[in-house]
Structure 1
């Protein structure tokens, strides 16, 4: 409370001058030296004085803008053909067309990143892999595409040309899915049956075996080495979700690789910790600027189990039930972002949405916190009737924004396409109406690119073309990855904080066409360069032009 008052006092004194600070100082003297004013009266006097000062200066407050930076992403699931491709039997041209259409849709909604599941169950949606081709891509596990192509190379290229980050989503525990119709001879469950745990119809990795952890690490490193991905992403599957009557048979592994642990649950958590830390360190060696993040079960621990846990009650917890100490990963800096699956409504009694968002905001230790939102629940047949409220999901986005989460990831693409209760319309026309840059990660890169050079304009039949030259490399050797184009009215004060003034972004080359110009109007343009980690440099400009019927004129 004192900090808040001090901040107001600092602004107040700067705006109103020394004589008012002196008056407050005299008040303190009256309280602590003369001791004529009791503490309650003193606090009331100071509060009234500060409030009057704030009221007097209300016209000087910074305007409230939409967020200039916000992570807006969607999961695109491939297992069981949930989101893409729509079936196992499509030819490559159909698969490419479907994926491109998905990206166009999500770009129109306002997204700036996609998470594509490229390893669903001991398989691969990419050519440069030791694991077999996915049955959900080609119809049979191990069968190569015909004609041959590399889906991940295509997906990355198409994402980047639209200004979407591409995160390679890898399931790290599954080798055989219970719905799998074919298992290739080179599936790792056949090559190394000694690495496997069988559970509820699945074949899963046994994380207690060092060779298993090394193999999973190599899968992640292989993707980072061979593909221009922005991030490596794991979901919530570590040790399996408990199923009645099922047992994890890892006693022999515990005896062989116990490492001095006497409690098997602690040992299992340590196995996962070792894996996450090992992958983090390996990725840092390959590419220090690649992002690494995990989307765990929403609840770390319940308050009733641990005083440091969230205000949730009786919920399944990643620490206790999946042996995944998700809070530790962010505290140790092993991940760059955490995206807990907060798939609960704001009125769900045991696990209220807001309680979890509040807890993760306080426990992300300086790493990015993206809220995983259960878009699939909107308008569905849910016991929790709050999901039938069309304002539930938009209000969740608003709450996460107000509580300083860096962004939102929606599960999943199909749910956004369905647009149940019109929630996607709320994103496109309201919450995501204006573009947002991806938040920066200062621990990975804090050096902005230099300013673009030689900004010019020419009039075309379809609009006004801006063109410029790429900036020189910055001190870290980087130049521009893309550009932000701002446009102002001559009467406006230019501001880099207002995304409503972002006319567009250029992702392919040093040019941009403004197709919205009007004859007889004057425009002021600024352009900034942005690097791969979204650091934005100083602008070139202003370029001031007036549009005539057949020509432009500088003013």
Structure 2
């Protein structure tokens, strides 16, 4: 008996451990993208449209990599619009001028919906219902702004302006705004945050007394009337959504404490009493589909997450709605315990009444605060998930996808493709699809419940899986349909995908000679290949002297530059798809016909006291017909620093005159012939004579230093100076606050000395940027401010 008890306990322990180690298949994992004050996106209202689009793509890519499946996208911040609206003007935070449309024109909401769908994500449109101006007078409002069209609807307390919630016409106006978006855009949800009546210290007192007198609706207590004003709006909006698209979800994210002292031991602002926000009433009235109270506190203390989460979970569950607590990703950097958010997620998963979580805010994911993003990507969110079903909306499953196959797609790559499922009994078809990958063909329905088998969630009827875990293959795929409420169909036919054949090299032919300085390598398309890996080496065995090793090539060609002249290169290609990886092709070789890299001769590198009239010498380069010389006063050879730029030199020397006294000069040479241009020589430098006759010690710095850029703030150019006491491999890079590299000023070996580089920011938006200098094991960083 004792042995049986031990066995049962061990089985329970292993099962519990497995359930914790494998993330749940169904879980909302959402992130707020805040647009007000350009918190998350766009970086600036003055950023060009192309930059704004790329920023949003980068942000969504980051969130997708981190396991996020739902975007809560702020489209109305201050009675304005991040979309084409007949009710509100274009947002100041989008274009830098309220009421001014983007140019060239685009609709950010439409763009965001499309980009989210490409990644299989949901998008919930986030509105602030009442806020008119968060800081009155901060910018000029548009002529069609509600504050100018209907100033009698607006209450001002301090610098805050908001719509009077007690006015019936305000409720109608806000409802019309939301109805307009739901009816015209393919959004998956509508979302409100916690801003209803103003927070302290800007609490309302008697500013709405006249409204209360005009529209009492039988109330004698103004506080109860204010709460009912909010309740009426929420019910009216819910009814409006249901009338046009009943599948669209409606969720609200109130302040995390309903009432002070509830549950016992909780202290803090009372949303019920201070800002007239009664989330429990919304649940009782079934006016919302999900609730996301902002539980922005750690475990312990007067706002204990360990007490608030279970209380909210019980309250929401009792009213048969979904509960997704809000997590303070932005506070991770201030919390002592870096495991606070992972601990909260695990705590949520241990409570069956919790269906996931929402994180404020999106931009913080890319910053990887205290390694938490890594923890999500590599552990807690390492597998894809799909959203829980809201069974009060729809429980009828869609039909499965038909005719799953693996074929060459329109873009030339091989991928999975399937046909639309038959219409289900409720008239629905698929809205998204779940792609599963397996090692064996014996796939059971129960296998679909394991999130480890989910390869991807797709918004369209095709998918390119990319390189599989093992190159040998084969792999087996099935696809299921999801309707708008995430009811999942049975699986499609089981599809086996085998590795592709070996590519056949085409051009240049094997043993080709006199190849130009730019060559296009080409190979044939192997049947059902999705992408390719190309290797180029100076060694026939490809075990050393590698020039290029790049994967993920989607075309059957690659343009190659920056090769050395008079050099034999060997190259080969393999192909891959969802079923595995082919062997490499038999290698070809070719020899370049342009000159090799040039070598400088005199004056020697780092030579001081060079006359202002001098001659520069370099060694003869094999195959050279002419040379090009560049001489500049900065290492980056920026246009405004170039002193000499001359081509067609037939000799191996060149005289220069009237150089600046007591100044560093940098120079390089490259050779040219009929087949192209060789690589530039290494950069050498010298310093011209100091006319004072005093000993010049400035050429060799004594310590590693990175100076503050000048000017700062700047627009659009600034100079960055640094000194390195020893030679070393040096990089100088520019980053945005997401940690994304946006420019590289230096990447190469530098001799000891002082340097200055110009950074031109003409093509990027205003904001704070970081520049980081790294020389071998030494590094330093500083901030700079671009103001346009």
| TM-score interval, smaller chain | 0.7 to 0.9
Cα distance between partner residues in 2 of 1:56 and 1:111: 34
Cα pair 2:246 2:393 within 8 Å, conserved: yes
CA deviation after TM superposition for structure 1 residue 368, in Å: 0.9
How many Å apart are 1:392 and its aligned residue? 0.8
Q: Equivalent residue of 1:277, what SS?
A: helix
Q: Give runs of aligned pairs for residues 163-312 of structure 1, distance below 5 A.
A: 163-178=120-135, 180-243=138-201, 247-303=205-261, 309-312=262-265
Is 1:396 paired with 2:344? yes
Shift of 1:464: 6.7
User: 1:290 Cα deviation (Å)?
Assistant: 0.7
Structure 2 counterpart of 1:471: 421
> 1:278–1:191: structure 2 CA closer, same or farther, 3 Å change rule?
same
Structure 1 contact 463–515 (Cα < 8 Å) conserved? no
**What is the alpha-carbon distance in structure 2 between the residues aligned to residue 312 and residue 128 of structure 1?**
46
CA contact under 8 A between 2:417 and 2:461: conserved in structure 1? no
Which one of the candidate residues 379, 401, 405 is aligned to 1:452? 401
- Structure 1 counterpart of 2:320, from 363, 366, 377: 366
Q: Residue 299 of structure 2 aligns with which residue?
A: 346
Deviation (angstroms), 1:49 = 12
1:157 aligned partner = 114
Q: Which has the higher helix share?
A: 1
SS in 2 for 1:540: coil
User: Structure 1 residue 329 and structure 2 residue 282: aligned?
Assistant: yes
CA distance in 2, matches of 1:171, 1:78: 11
Give yes or no for contact 1:520–1:548 (8 Å, CA) kept in 2: no
* Larger mean Cα displacement after TM superposition, 477-486 or 129-138: 477-486
CA distance in 2 between counterparts of 1:371 and 1:59 reads: 28
Match of 2:88 among 109, 120, 131: 131
Q: 1:377 aligns with which of 318, 327, 331?
A: 331
SS in 2 for 1:184: coil
Measure, in 2, the Cα distance between the counterparts of 1:477 and 1:322.
43
Tell me the secondary structure at the aligned position of residue 494 of structure 2: strand
Q: Which has the higher strand share?
A: 2
* Aligned residue number for residue 64 of structure 2: 107
Matched residue of 1:292: which SS?
strand
Query: 1:73 aligned to 30, 33, 48, which one?
Result: 30
Once residues 433 and 250 of structure 2 are traced to their aligned partners in structure 1, the CA distance between those partners, rounded to angstroms, is 25
1:473-523 C-alpha deviation (Å, 9 max, x unpaired): 111222222222222222876411111111223322245445317564343
Secondary structure of the corresponding residue to residue 320 of structure 1: helix
In the alignment, is the contact (CA less than 8 A) between 2:42 and 2:52 conserved in 1? yes
- Name structure 2 gaps, 5 residues minimum: 503-526, 529-578, 580-788
Distance change in 2, residues 1:51/1:195 (3 Å): farther
Deviation at 1:102, TM superposition (A): 0.8
Contact 1:176–1:183 at 8 Å: present in 2 too? no
Contact 2:198 2:204 in 1 (8 A): no
Look up the SS of the partner of 2:341 in the other structure: helix
CA distance in 2, matches of 1:100, 1:126: 17
For 1:89, what is the secondary structure of its paired residue?
A: coil
CA RMSD of aligned residues (A): 2.7
Per-residue displacement from partner, 1:91-116 (whole Å, max 9, x unpaired)?
A: 21111111111111111111001111
5 Å-filtered alignment, 1:432-447, equals: 432-447=381-396
Q: Is the 8 A contact 2:404 2:495 kept in 1?
A: yes
Are 1:525 and 2:477 counterparts? yes
Q: 1:190 to 1:465 in 2, by over 3 A?
A: closer
CA separation of 1:183/1:58 partners in 2, compared to 1, >3 Å: closer, same or farther? closer
Aligned-pair distance for 1:250? Answer: 0.8
| Structure 2 residue matching 1:505: 3-state secondary structure | strand
* Matching residue of 1:506: 458
Deviation track 1:148-182 (CA, whole Å, cap 9, x = no partner) reads 22111111111111111111100011111216312
- CA separation of 1:58 and 1:322: change in aligned 2, threshold 3 A: closer
Mapped pair 1:426 → 2:370: no
**Could you say if the C-alpha distance between residues 77 and 476 of structure 1 is closer, same or farther in structure 2, counting changes exceeding 3 Å?**
same
Alignment match, 1:87: 44
- Distance 1:489-1:406 versus aligned 2 partners, 3 A rule: same
- The structure number with the bigger radius of gyration is 2
CA offsets 1:112-167 (integer angstroms, 9 cap, x no match): 01111110001111113311111111111112222222111111111111111111
Native 8 Å contact 1:289 1:444 kept in 2: yes
* 2:725 alignment counterpart: none
For residues 480-519 of structure 1, the aligned pairs below 5 Å read 480-490=430-440, 494=444, 495-516=447-468, 518=470
Alignment partners' CA distance in 1, 2:250 and 2:362? 21
Describe the shift of the 1:129–1:354 C-alpha distance in structure 2 as closer, same or farther (beyond 3 A): farther
1:13 aligns with: none
Shift of the 302–144 alpha-carbon distance from structure 1 to 2, 3 Å rule, reads same
Please say which of residues 319-328 and 409-418 is displaced more in the overlay.
409-418
Secondary structure of the residue aligned to 2:493 is strand
1:469/1:510 contact within 8 Å kept: no
Q: Which residue of 2 aligns with 1:5?
A: none
Question: Secondary structure at the residue paired with 2:324?
Answer: strand
What CA deviation, in whole Å up to 9, does each residue of 1:193-222 have, x standing for no partner?
Answer: 211111121111111111111111111111
Q: CA deviation at 1:465?
A: 3.4
Scaled by the length of structure 1, the TM-score of the pair is 0.83
Question: CA separation in 2, counterparts of 1:519 and 1:195?
Answer: 65
Query: Structure 1, residues 282-311: CA drift from partner, whole Å, max 9, x if none?
Result: 1110111111110001111233xxxxx323
Give distance in 2, aligned partners of 1:416 and 1:311: 34
State the distance in 2 between where 1:195 and 1:454 align.
57
Say whether the 8 Å CA contact 1:77–1:83 is kept in structure 2.
Answer: yes
Secondary structure, aligned partner of 1:363: helix
CA distance in 1, matches of 2:7, 2:197: 57
SS of equivalent residue, structure 1 residue 140: coil
